[in-house]
Amino acid sequence: MILLSPLGAVGRSVLGLLGAIGRVALFSGQAVGHIFRPPFYFKEFLQAVLYIGYFSLPVVGLTAFFTGGALALQIYAGGARFNAESVVPLIVAIGMVRELGPVLGGLMVAGRVAASIAAEVGTMKVTEQLDALVTLSTHPMKYLTVPRVVAATLTMPILVAIGDVIGVMGGFTVGVTRLDFNAATYLNNTIDFLESWDVVSGLLKAAVFGFIVAMMGCYHGMNSARGAQGVGRATTNAVVSASVLILASNYILTELFFAA
């Protein structure tokens, strides 16, 4: 029996994980179903666009700028081993638009937005505001989840596109001021070798990450346990699950987009 107990623990964990995946899938399916059925709450959608998109711009921009700069330094140092310092502009651009822009942008937005949505919706649940919505003939899924999920899915690509430009400019700034690149050559190398699919694939990833961030925030908020501890746990779970799902889906999307 003692030997079997670790197996039992593993089994319980696996069953728990599968159960959670099932619940998230059902929740997501319901939310997507509500996107296409009226009523639509445009005011709540616009507020979510402002909050998720516009107000996340500083954090995404700063992350992209410093990442682009660090990337330029790293690639220059690595490339110097093969006398390939000239690839810095191209690798910085590809690295930013394909991977680091969407992934780091997604993770930063997960930290900011998923936490905030989970805390807000979780507090609404424990203070009976979700029940109040129902009694006022308003479906919480339509009023709270759908506007946030649609807003995040649509604004994340725009946010990441701006982040990509800022990240490339971060690399450009470091390249020109610290690595003695000619400014015009750096920009020409970036533009000439970057393909449209590099950019589009990153933006598609960003849309998926936006969907994940808002969905995890709403799911954990709506399933928050009672009390401050319950809301705190929901907030943590939202950020952790959004981050893990972003990294996992990034791998799957990269396989889909770029596997030979």
| Residue 2 C-beta: closest distance to another protein, Å | 28
| Residue 39 C-beta: closest distance to another protein, Å | 7
Among 9, 14, 86, 131, binds another protein (CB under 8 A): 131
Among 1, 2, 136, 259, binds another protein (CB under 8 A): 136
Sign (positive or negative) of CA dihedral 161, 167, 170, 176: negative
Among 39, 86, 195, 226, binds another protein (CB under 8 A): 39
d(CA 202, CA 161): 8
Q: Considering the rule CB under 8 A, would residue 74 count as an interface residue with another protein?
A: no
Per CB under 8 A, the segment of 106-114, 128-136, 171-179, 189-197 that binds another protein is 128-136
Among 8, 33, 80, 128, binds another protein (CB under 8 A): 128
Compute CA 195 distance to the chain's CA centroid, rounded to the nearest angstrom: 23
What three-state secondary structure class fits 88?
helix
Per CB under 8 A, the segment of 1-9, 99-107, 122-130, 230-238 that binds another protein is 122-130
For another protein, the closer CB: 123 or 249: 123
Q: Considering the rule CB under 8 A, would residue 127 count as an interface residue with another protein?
A: yes
Q: Considering the rule CB under 8 A, would residue 26 count as an interface residue with another protein?
A: no
Sign (positive or negative) of CA dihedral 33, 34, 35, 39: positive
d(CA 141, CA 130): 10
Write out the H or E segment, with its range, that includes residue 211: helix 196-222
d(CA 249, CA 253): 6
DSSP string covering 91-112, please?
Answer: HHHHIIIIIIHHHHHHHHHIII
| Site for another protein, rule CB under 8 A | 39, 41, 123-124, 127-129, 131-132, 134-138
